[in-house]
Amino acid sequence: MNRVVITGLGIISPLGNSATDVAAALRAGRVAIGALTILPTENLLTKIGAEVKDFDPVTQFSDKQLPLLDRCAQFAVAASRQAVTQSGLDLHALGSRAAAIIGAGVGGMTTLDESYYRVYAQGSKRAHPFTIPKLMISAAMSHITITHGITGPSFTVASACASSNHAIGVAYSMVKSGTVDAAVTGGTEAVFTFGTIKAWEALRVMSTDTCRPFSKNRSGMVLGEGAAIFVLENRDHALARGAEILAEIVGFGMSSDAADIVLPSADGAAAAIRACLDDAGLKPEEVDYINAHGTGTVANDATETKAIRAVFGTHADKLAVSSTKSMHGHLLGGAGAMELAATVIAMQGGFIPPTANYAVPDPDCDLDVVPNEARDQQIGVALSNSFAFGGHNAVLAIRRA
């Protein structure tokens, strides 16, 4: 089996549109949650979100490309360019020895919302001719293969908020087994449309002020948008060409709750964490940091705490556990990728990102959640948790290069 390393990282996110900008924001504990500006909110209860700023697609794509790209795909392709450039890898030359595995929860919602408005509200006799190619959930992945000349395995993983971790885990497994030498992987999401937010409001899990994971006065989740894309590579292949190694992926674990379509399960989450540790050959006490799923909902945060304590026992008291969703919001299908990116950045920078907006300790969330301020600390091994609606659980483990 091959060892699998990360040689490229690209980010388009509420915290910034490069790894350098995101690193500065995480270290400063900057919260990117604010008033929504990209759509009217007068008929919405939810008026906040974590938007991507300073992203102009006109400067990123040609007049020929842009009509084919939903905002969801725009983010993914732009982030992939950063990742591939940093890696220095010639994906055209690799051809079928490279894969593209991308996670997304819902895909081109902007296109879908605009199409429905055009047909139902404006009474148009026809939809835009590019509606289907833009809204399909696999569009972002397809444009990545076209951009970089990837002719090997390519597909999109959709498992709600675990989509990105599943996609990265599958890509990791393919490189590890030797099916391919490299993979472009990660996740993307862009869900700030009127219809999407109305649907989320109906679930009654949305905060109207901010995201406070693990705090007793937490009031719900806050949506975010963006993409984080990685280049994964066979370690020997990367070393042979003198590539910089950002981190090594050492484990991947999955489980299914098989219990409830929305309520989380501590047993299911714990099973995925154990599976990840087993895959990595890690003892619980070797883990230094967990980037938690940490949505800021009452049910998730207490359940995740219970799962972590079940797996780590007394070592749970020594673990740093933070939720970066408190700063960049919940990217849904792109969440795992954004949070793995934050974990890699923190590992490289020698700090633990904080759980921002933390105010009141909760006895049901009695972990070291690194409240409000980043902490200088070297991270040798870290986990990134994703636990999704439908009972889909996916956990990744990385080690410092």
315 as an active site residue: the answer is: no
**Block residue for tokens 């292949």:** 237
E strand intervals along 181-238: 182-189, 226-234
Q: Are 161 and 261 in contact (CB under 8 A)?
A: no
Token readout for 174 is 């393919």
Q: Which of 143, 148, 237, 330 is catalytic?
A: 330
Q: Are 317 and 284 in contact (CB under 8 A)?
A: no
Half-sphere exposure of 47 (CA within 13 A, CB side): 8
330 as an active site residue: the answer is: yes
343 closest CA partner among 230, 253, 202: 230
Task: Identify the three-state secondary structure at position 125.
Answer: coil
Q: Are 118 and 124 in contact (CB under 8 A)?
A: yes
* CATH 3.40.47.10 domain range(s) in the chain: 4-240, 248-400
Entry field: residues in the chain: 401
Torsion sign across C-alpha atoms 272, 140, 203, 26? positive
Interatomic CA distance for residues 9 and 343, integer angstroms:
12
Which helix (H) or strand (E) segment holds residue 385: the answer is: strand 381-388
Token readout for 148 is 């970089």
Which helix (H) or strand (E) segment holds residue 99: the answer is: strand 98-103
Radius of gyration of the chain (CA): 20
Half-sphere exposure of 379 (CA within 13 A, CB side): 32
Q: Are 264 and 49 in contact (CB under 8 A)?
A: no
pLDDT (0 to 100) of residue 44: 97
Q: Which of 143, 148, 166, 293 is catalytic?
A: 293
pLDDT (0 to 100) of residue 323: 98
At 293, give phi and psi (nearest 5°). Answer: -65, -45
pLDDT (0 to 100) of residue 242: 97
Q: Please give the model's pTM, rounded to 2 decimal places.
A: 0.98
CA distances from 285 to 56, 253, 370 (A): 45, 17, 18
Q: What is the DSSP letter of 118?
A: I
Say if domain 4-240 classifies as CATH 3.40.47.10.
yes
Half-sphere exposure of 211 (CA within 13 A, CB side): 35
Interatomic CA distance for residues 8 and 87, integer angstroms:
4
CATH code matching the domain that covers 248-400, chosen among 3.40.47.10, 1.10.3720.10, 2.40.50.100, 1.20.1050.10: 3.40.47.10
Token readout for 145 is 């293969």
Q: Please give the chain's pLDDT, 401 residues, in tens.
A: 999 999 999 999 999 999 999 999 999 999 999 999 999 999 999 999 999 999 999 999 999 999 999 999 999 999 999 999 999 999 999 999 999 999 999 999 999 999 999 999 999 999 999 999 999 999 999 999 999 999 999 999 999 999 999 999 999 999 999 999 999 999 999 999 999 999 999 999 999 999 999 999 999 999 999 999 999 999 999 999 999 999 999 999 999 999 999 999 999 999 999 999 999 999 999 999 999 999 999 999 999 999 999 999 999 999 999 999 999 999 999 999 999 999 999 999 999 999 999 999 999 999 999 999 999 999 999 999 999 999 999 999 999 99
Torsion sign across C-alpha atoms 271, 276, 277, 278? positive
87 closest CA partner among 174, 176, 5: 5
161 as an active site residue: the answer is: yes
Q: Which of 143, 148, 161, 211 is catalytic?
A: 161
Q: Which residues of 276-305 are buried (b: 16+ CB within 10 A; e: fewer)?
A: bbebbebebeebbbbbbbbbbbeebbbbbb
Q: Which residues of 181-205 are buried (b: 16+ CB within 10 A; e: fewer)?
A: bbbbbbbbbbbbbeebbeebeeeeb
Beta-bridged to residue 92, according to DSSP, are none
